[in-house]
Structure 1
Amino acid sequence: MTPLAHAVAWPAPAKLNLMLRVLGRREDGYHRLQTVFQFIDRCDRLWFAPRTDGAIRRALEIPGVPASADLTVRAAQALRAATGCRLGVDIRLEKVLPMGGGLGGGSSDAATTLVALNRLWGLDLGEDELAGIALPLGADVPVFVRARAAWAEGVGEELTPVELPQPWYLVLIPPGQVSTAAVFADPQLTRDSLPITLADFLRGDRRNDCLDAVRRGYPEVAGALAWLDEVGGGQLTGTGGCVFASFTDQEAALAACERAPERFRAFIARGRNRSPLLDRLTSEVASAVERSA
């Protein structure tokens, strides 16, 4: 039996953007944003088997994603380059989260790789150091490394931890993928929203400035939002295409999920202010202490 076969999996949870405002465009072409990230307990799963020969390998190929574009491989390479580590790793990824759905699956996979290998390679980097390595991999990667619900500004990397209600969510996955680049290139996209405060958000300001552009360009997403409006109100996460509605209890979320149109994939998940990745890291540290006792 290989090490990957019996290792405990590391979770890479999804996130939801509970609001998204586009405040302007920077000189480098990136947009200045305000958003709120919250995790949900729907996760990809990863397994890692350290190697002594320095090779970074995928145990399973991902259709349509070459190794050079795989964020888990790039994260491992970035961590090794930043630290001078000479170890390698075999990585197995079980994809649960849809690609291109606005749930942050690729960014979360990269963050879990950084956090896990920091531990398994014995590097002992702090959270700030890991977040610094994470940012060039993607603007969303640092929030997954820091693993706490957050108010975010800048391009999404200026993070302030927040405590939010943790409702149940119904998430719909419409057919197809939404192009983030196309949404931000839309000439009608609102790019000059006034900034708001966390207090404004908590009072109910949950606008997503990308919503109209996505509705115009992606009829299936518009249809999913229209259906959610009938069962409690729908929101777009990031630039989509996944959409969601919140419920105070699991039973209500499940009842709505069971009524969802068959053309949409649907699931329910619990909102989490603390990422499941932190629980896995805590468990790993505790196990190591027990082994050394």
Structure 2
Amino acid sequence: MTETPATGPLLQPAQGLHEFAPAKVNLWLEVTGRRDDGYHLLDSLVVFGEVGDWLEACPAESFSLEINGPFAAPLRQGADNLVVRAVKAFCATTGLRPGFRLKLTKNLPVAAGLGGGSADAAAALRLLERLQGLQLPEETRQALALELGADVPVCLEGRATHMQGIGEQLTTLSAFPRLHLLLVNPGVPVSTGAIFHQLAPPWTEPKEAPRIETDPETLLGMLHSRRNDLEAPACALAPEITRVLTALRNTQDCALARMSGSGASCFALYCSSTARDQAASRLRQDHPEWWIA
């Protein structure tokens, strides 16, 4: 249980409220430079899946966080996490006092390249705004999100977005085709810091803002022309990622297979949900130890 300072007006739900924290998938992720402060500059096309974590807020005299679900264990080892930090930062900004308990159902693997922690923090911010009954000024909420982590602003948007800079330059895409994705994680945690530490110039040349086509086949051609610059160093540190990519590329009707974020999760695109589901079924038979969604 983590307590927050008991100051300010009480922010309390009348009843339980739920907020979804969907998996973040980087369809491409290119590193275009590095700032003097060490932060890397990115160019990424981000989408969100139909699988993710859930946050629930219920009335309580003081704030606490309960974590359950299939991937809760790694998060229970520390008293502080991004959800707690999000609550503290929001209440410090608004001057409110949390009168609720949060329950986090952790369905996404931890340290998996799916933005799970960032998605949870973003869901906490959205949930707190709902409890307050209003949305923070856009500049305030984006600054609050970026303070929590580079992926939190895009997760706060929660829809297809072209992301640049260190995560603060976002262009949401109003028209985006529905994609049939298969997500696979081999159960090997990967350190984002360790992956970025392996990177060195020359960086990928920055490109003009992409024109995202609503036709899936045209979009697929664009995706093939881009890449994930973190994939090679991640595979060197965690060879299991190469096994996942090979298995995905060998499934029938796989149109594209790539690592997401800093790994170890990978995704594959298919022309139909039927082809995707058949691939998932086959992989579950061959690799029952993998997380597949």
Task: Give the TM-score band, short-chain normalised.
Answer: 0.7 to 0.9
Q: Which structure exhibits the higher relative contact order, with contacts defined as CA atoms closer than 8 Å and separated by 6 or more residues?
A: 1
Counterpart in the other structure of 1:59: 66
Describe the SS at the equivalent of 1:59.
strand
Change over 3 Å in CA distance of 1:76–1:191 after alignment to 2 = farther
Residues 163-189 of structure 1 show CA distances to partners (whole Å, capped at 9, x for unaligned) of 3322111111112111111111115x5
Describe the SS at the equivalent of 2:159.
coil
CA contact (8 A) 2:74 2:110 kept: no
Deviation at 1:264, TM superposition (A): 4.7
Deviation at 1:47, TM superposition (A): 0.5
Deviation at 1:50, TM superposition (A): 4.1
1:76-155 superposed matches below 5 A: 76-155=87-166
The percentage of aligned residue pairs carrying the same residue is 35
CA contact (8 A) 2:20 2:55 kept: yes
CA contact (8 A) 1:134 1:142 kept: yes
- Alignment pair present for 1:164 and 2:176: yes
CA distance in 1, matches of 2:196, 2:67: 33
Change over 3 Å in CA distance of 1:22–1:14 after alignment to 2 = same
Residues 168-211 of structure 1 show CA distances to partners (whole Å, capped at 9, x for unaligned) of 11111112111111111115x55511012343774332311111
CA distance in 2, matches of 1:150, 1:176: 27
Deviation at 1:240, TM superposition (A): 0.5
Counterpart in the other structure of 2:186: 174
CA contact (8 A) 2:187 2:291 kept: no
CA distance in 2, matches of 1:73, 1:83: 16
CA contact (8 A) 2:43 2:165 kept: yes
Task: Give the alignment partner of residue 279 of structure 2, picking from 216, 239, 256.
Answer: 256
Judge which range, 211-220 or 119-128, deviates more.
119-128
Give 1:18's aligned amino acid: L
Counterpart in the other structure of 1:280: none
Deviation at 1:88, TM superposition (A): 3.0
Task: Give the alignment partner of residue 222 of structure 1, picking from 226, 235, 242.
Answer: 242
With structure 2 as the length reference, what TM-score do the two structures score?
A: 0.82
- Alignment pair present for 1:72 and 2:92: no
CA distance in 2, matches of 1:181, 1:12: 23
CA distance in 2, matches of 1:227, 1:120: 44
Residues 107-143 of structure 1 show CA distances to partners (whole Å, capped at 9, x for unaligned) of 1111111111112134542444222211111111111
CA RMSD of aligned residues (A): 2.2
Deviation at 1:148, TM superposition (A): 2.3
Counterpart in the other structure of 1:22: 31
CA distance in 1, matches of 2:97, 2:210: 47
CA contact (8 A) 1:172 1:267 kept: yes
CA distance in 2, matches of 1:41, 1:131: 24
Change over 3 Å in CA distance of 1:264–1:164 after alignment to 2 = farther
CA contact (8 A) 2:16 2:59 kept: no
Give 2:196's aligned amino acid: F
Gaps of 5+ in 1: 269-293
CA contact (8 A) 1:170 1:266 kept: no
CA distance in 2, matches of 1:190, 1:241: 23
Residues 234-277 of structure 1 show CA distances to partners (whole Å, capped at 9, x for unaligned) of 10101110001011211110000111131552434xxxxxxxxx
Give 2:24's aligned amino acid: K
CA contact (8 A) 1:22 1:190 kept: no
Deviation at 1:11, TM superposition (A): 0.8
CA distance in 1, matches of 2:87, 2:38: 27
Describe the SS at the equivalent of 1:192.
coil
Give 2:178's aligned amino acid: Q
